[in-house]
Amino acid sequence: MRGAAKVWPGSFRLLICALSLWITALAAPGPWALFTVPPLVCLGFLCLRRHHHLGVLLIVFACLLTVQTTMLGSARGPDEATEVEGIAVGHSQPGDSGWSRLTVLTSTGITEVLSPSAPPDGAHVSLRTEALDDIRISNDDARIIRAPNGVWKWRADLRLQLRHDSLASGHSGGALLPGLVVGDTEPQDARMEDDMRVVSLTHISAVSGSNVTIVSLGAGLLAGLCRAGPRTRVGVGVLTCVGYVFIVGFEPSAIRAAGMAIAVALVFLRGGGISPVAVMSSTVCILLSFVPVLATSVGFVLSVVSTAAILFVVPIILRRLSLHLSMVPTIVISALIVPLVAQLACTPVLVAIDPRIGLWSVAANALAAPAVLPATVLGFVSMVCGGLGLLGVPGLLWCAQVPAWLGSLCAWWIVGVARICAGLPGAALDWPKPPVGTLAALGLLILLAAGLWMLVRRKLWGIPTVVVCICLTALIIVVGRTKPPADDWLVMICDVGQGSATVINLGEGAGLVVDTGKDPKPVDVCLDEGGIEDFDLVISHFDADHSAGYAGTTWSRILHRLWVSSNVSGGAEVRGLVADTGAKVVPTTRGRSLDADGARIEVLWPPARETAETDRGEEADGNEETDVGEETVGTEVRNEDSLVLRVELEGLSFLVPGDIGEDEQFILAQSLEPVDLLIAPHHGSSDLAEDFFTAAGARLGVISVGENSYGHPTPRAQRAFGPVPVLRTDRCGTVAVYAHAKYSTARDCHGDEQ
């Protein structure tokens, strides 16, 4: 107890310092913050004699605040446009927009730049940048002043070699292994990413603190087997960690993972006499001082929370369980307890990011955990063999293939666990949105922890406390759950965020899907709710918010035909979609009438462009399939080229108008027959013609819309429907419409009716 009393003041001092640095990093003060440093230092020295710990805290905080403010100023740079020159030491995978976040090492520190291109790591680059919040943005591609040197080229070849050896396995595990070992997530497809996210295994799909910890601890323990002392073990572990991060890349996520790994390595390799609180707090202080951008990173929050839970909570539970379960090996208990504790500790943060909770997340983490260690070690061994083979050591390039194949097999198990658990009922249950959902999760977690603590201490009140926690959780889930449509639905307008996806029920599991939204998962969920197993796909036009999520429609389903406007049937987008799905293309144009298993479909727009190929196409029947290899027409993406469909099904008539604007709407209004249901064109944009809405004369209006910066839906668009109910998917969720224009919504939204 006396030793703990001596350690505690220093640990508490570092904890306060870490929290203070986190707050200042979030506030992101300007250079004026440096004026507070001299008073803090003076006050610290005045307090040293009577309040030693307070004085040391003030002095340490002042020094680290100086470093943090300097690094913030370097990362943010001046407000005006300026030239940033340095070495690109890391970059993120390009997002949907094609832009990447570059980590550039300059003479004044590390600068984060959002760039339309990603130069090779190690290249000396120059970018014309402007300030964008706490980072910089460049509208032009990076200019490469000097190509990467031999070491950086060897690193790039090493990463490519690992990817090649992993993908040679021929299964999904080969796509996961490069991400798990060196953060190369490019081979992973959308479904794998979504399955891993749903069951909270995202930390495995890319390099995380656990992977770096495995490598660092492994190196340190190997040194221990060679009779190395505590300091040598720690030194070997830290050096291995630094070298590993060089291979992964110096972007903030890798630096964060390395920091947490070093903290764990110090605690476990050093042995006794070191405070976990002090180690964790010191790590956070150093990271937030030199890389203050981590303060706004959700990944950093998750790393700190999970690492703290593993360091402080897991040892207590293990000691208790080892006494009562002496026959069970400690490694088995650890494999179950570590993912459980980490998952529960991270739940309040996870529901703040994505307000859903998964019943199978803990089970998925527990099942996947045993495969993470061998996958990481085998992938690391393959990487080392491949690296030495690239340097000319004979036979090692061939040897690298064996551990890569074995590591991919372990990774295949992880992918399989994620896919099965993500497909089980309750894998993604709705949870209240933040801040209510976050506070509710935090309160329930505290209640559960209190109940479990009482159970461990053999207090009878522990059982009712845990039961109350479970009942409250179930109550929140039941009250906030989305309501599935009834079996006799005719058309569903899916909640896919800012985008469009409409599903027409053709009976017996068949459907016609019109557009897919931007992301694969929402449309996949919508089709599951509707019981659609095989379908035809209509793409109104190839804006990302209408077509980019097409992969989600094919998950465990059969796609037969792809209907597109004949004006774009020979485009690159169509060829790419067909190459991915194997669908047969049906080009169509204004004036066609089609029959799809009882649904009568009229194509009202667009008219065919005046081309020789179109003239030939007019002679073909609307259901005739075409060879997409033939270049028929131009492929420019235009809203005015959107397919507009009028559908009649079992007495219900409705319009699916894509993104047509005012001019197209005015033309259609001249000959438009009234319908029961009208889906708002272009997500409720103000680019509309009131005559179109009047001619439609709908009894029900639906606006497919999500969070956006365009002002959709506009008040003008909502008023254009007239005195009828108008439902918005961002508030009502997925809207199912039945015969006689009756409807149901996934969420209660009575206030949206007009």
DSSP output for 651-667: TEEEEE-TT--HHHHHH
Number of domains present in the structure of the chain: 5
Alpha-carbon span 557 to 580, nearest angstrom:
14
The answer to whether residue 326 sits within a structural domain is yes
Read off φ and ψ for residue 737, nearest 5 degrees.
Answer: -120, 140
DSSP output for 149-188: -HHHHHHHHHHHHHHHHHHTT-SHHHHHHHHHHH---TT-
Binned at pLDDT 50, 70 and 90, residue 627 comes out as: very low
126 and 72 in one domain? Answer: no
Tens of pLDDT, residue by residue over 419-452, are 999 888 777 787 888 888 888 888 988 898 888 8
Examine the pLDDT at 374 and tell me if it is beyond 80. yes
Residue in the block written with tokens 């409705």: 654
The answer to whether residue 198 sits within a structural domain is yes
Helix (H) or strand (E) holding 35: none
Residue in the block written with tokens 């980590």: 103
Read off φ and ψ for residue 728, nearest 5 degrees.
Answer: -110, 130
Q: Tell me whether strands 356-357 and 429-430 are parallel, antiparallel or unpaired.
A: antiparallel
Burial letters 471-501, b for 16+ CB under 10 A, else e: eebeebbeebeeeebeeebbbbbbbbbbbbb
Tens of pLDDT, residue by residue over 682-699, are 999 999 999 999 999 999
Binned at pLDDT 50, 70 and 90, residue 3 comes out as: very low
Q: What is the Cβ-side half-sphere exposure of residue 630, based on CA atoms within 13 angstroms?
A: 13
180 and 72 in one domain? Answer: no
379 and 513 in one domain? Answer: no
Which domain CATH number covers 659? 3.60.15.10
342 and 291 in one domain? Answer: yes
CB 25, CB 290: distance < 8 Å: no
267 and 243 in one domain? Answer: yes
Which domain CATH number covers 108? 2.40.50.140
Q: Which of 50-59, 185-194, 565-574, 596-605 has the lowest mean pLDDT?
A: 50-59
DSSP output for 334-387: HHHHHHHHHHHHHHHHHHHHS-EE-TTHHHHHHHHHHHHHHHHHHHHHHHHHHH
Section 660-673 average pLDDT? 93
Instruction: Report the mean per-residue pLDDT for the chain.
Output: 84
pLDDT at residue 626 in the model: 45
Binned at pLDDT 50, 70 and 90, residue 164 comes out as: very high
pLDDT at residue 268 in the model: 64
Examine the pLDDT at 413 and tell me if it is beyond 50. yes
112 burial type by CB count under 10 A (0-12 exposed, 13-18 middle, 19+ buried):
buried
250 and 360 in one domain? Answer: yes
Q: What would the 3-class secondary structure string for 460-524 be?
A: CCHHHHHHHHHHHHHHHHHHHCCCCCCCCCCEEECCCCCCCCEEEEEECCEEEEECCCCCHHHHH
The Cα-based distances of 262 to 155, 239, 287, 297, 597 in angstroms read 22, 10, 12, 19, 62
CB 749, CB 735: distance < 8 Å: no
3 state SS of 526: helix
The answer to whether residue 659 sits within a structural domain is yes
Tens of pLDDT, residue by residue over 573-585, are 899 899 988 899 9
| Domain's final residue, options 125, 148, 171 | 148
Tens of pLDDT, residue by residue over 332-361, are 677 667 777 877 888 888 888 777 787 888
Residue in the block written with tokens 């040197």: 149
The answer to whether residue 338 sits within a structural domain is yes
Instruction: List the 700-703 sheet strands across, edge first.
Output: 593-596, 599-605, 644-649, 652-656, 677-679, 700-703, 726-728
Q: Which of 421-430, 546-555, 661-670 has the lowest mean pLDDT?
A: 421-430
Examine the pLDDT at 225 and tell me if it is beyond 70. yes
667 burial type by CB count under 10 A (0-12 exposed, 13-18 middle, 19+ buried):
middle
Residue in the block written with tokens 């009575």: 750
313 and 214 in one domain? Answer: yes
Alpha-carbon span 554 to 580, nearest angstrom:
10
Q: The domain containing residue 455 runs over which residues? A: 435-480
| Domain's final residue, options 430, 452, 467 | 430
CB 555, CB 527: distance < 8 Å: no
Bridge partner residues of 105 (DSSP): 87, 110
Section 36-60 average pLDDT? 84
The answer to whether residue 199 sits within a structural domain is yes
Residue 279 CB neighbour total at 10 angstroms = 21
Name the percent of the chain lying above pLDDT 90. Answer: 32
Examine the pLDDT at 614 and tell me if it is beyond 60. no
- Helices vs strands, H then E, count in the chain: 27, 23
345 and 212 in one domain? Answer: yes
Alpha-carbon span 705 to 728, nearest angstrom:
7
Alpha-carbon span 159 to 382, nearest angstrom:
11
Helix, strand, coil abundance in the chain, percent, nearest 5: 55, 15, 30
- Residue 191, C-beta contacts closer than 8 angstroms, at least 6 positions apart: 419, 520, 551, 552, 555
Alpha-carbon span 481 to 498, nearest angstrom:
21
The answer to whether residue 357 sits within a structural domain is yes
Angle between helices 276-290 and 252-270 (to 10 degrees): 160
191 and 251 in one domain? Answer: yes
Examine the pLDDT at 622 and tell me if it is beyond 70. no
pLDDT at residue 715 in the model: 93
| Domain's final residue, options 148, 168, 189 | 148
Q: Which of 316-325, 359-368, 704-713 has the lowest mean pLDDT?
A: 316-325
Examine the pLDDT at 532 and tell me if it is beyond 50. yes
pTM here is 0.78
The answer to whether residue 579 sits within a structural domain is yes
Please, what is the Cα angle at 355 between 350 and 360, to 5 degrees? Answer: 65
Range with the largest mean pLDDT of 369-373, 612-616, 702-706: 702-706
232 and 213 in one domain? Answer: yes
pLDDT at residue 620 in the model: 41
93 and 50 in one domain? Answer: no
358 and 472 in one domain? Answer: no
- Residue 363, C-beta contacts closer than 8 angstroms, at least 6 positions apart: 421
420 burial type by CB count under 10 A (0-12 exposed, 13-18 middle, 19+ buried):
middle
CA-wise closest residue to 565 among 551, 585, 549, 545: 585
The answer to whether residue 614 sits within a structural domain is no
